[in-house]
Amino acid sequence: MIINIGNGCSYKAEQSLEWIVALDAFDYNCREPLEKLILKCAIPEELRPAISKIISGDRKSNKKAAAKLKLPAKERLQIAAALSAVCGLIDNLQYGDNFYLGTESKRWGKLIDSVADKKRQEPIEVIRKLESKKKNAILITAKKFNVSPETIENILRDLREKLKKYPDV
């Protein structure tokens, strides 16, 4: 999965996404994802201190914040991760490194340049359309879950912050 969070996300954080989602759900008074994960998988070493604090009672759910949630606690960051993957693919197309294009005119170049050539458009026009598609993905997600686009942007921000702070989630 491509996580669109910019610089600062470690590979281990991406690999532990399921644990990050479960810990976030716990923080919002939903224990089920964490319970299932503990039964199913070994706890990643870097997350053992966080799990230990839960067991000892030092880390507790925030019931007041949970009551104010507009999305179910166990789905919040799952939605963000899925949308982030879509946005990450668009970002890679727009701003990604050079790719081997294998065309007659160019062997190496930005993928966006190749797409623009095939569509007979300027790269900036393609980039604007892609930006529009990213915004549209946020709007569609917001409509699907009956929340505002700002709520979706907030959970995307929450996911980015948790991944950047990993393993201190």
| pLDDT tens by residue, 49-107 | 999 999 999 999 999 999 999 999 999 999 999 999 999 888 888 887 766 666 555 56
Tokens describing residue 141: 């997600």
Contact of 166 with 16, CB cutoff 8 Å: yes
Rounded to an integer, the average pLDDT of 151-156 is 97
What is the reported pLDDT for 106?
59
CA–CA dist 39, 35 (Å, integer): 6
Tokens describing residue 47: 């997350």
Reported as a pLDDT band with limits 50, 70 and 90, residue 27 is: very high
Mean pLDDT of the chain: 89
Contact of 76 with 152, CB cutoff 8 Å: no
> What would you report as the CA-atom Rg of the chain, rounded to the nearest whole angstrom?
19
Nearest to 24 by CA among 165, 142, 150, 146: 165
Rounded to an integer, the average pLDDT of 5-18 is 76
Angle at 139 between CA 136 and CA 141, to 5 degrees: 110
Reported as a pLDDT band with limits 50, 70 and 90, residue 14 is: confident
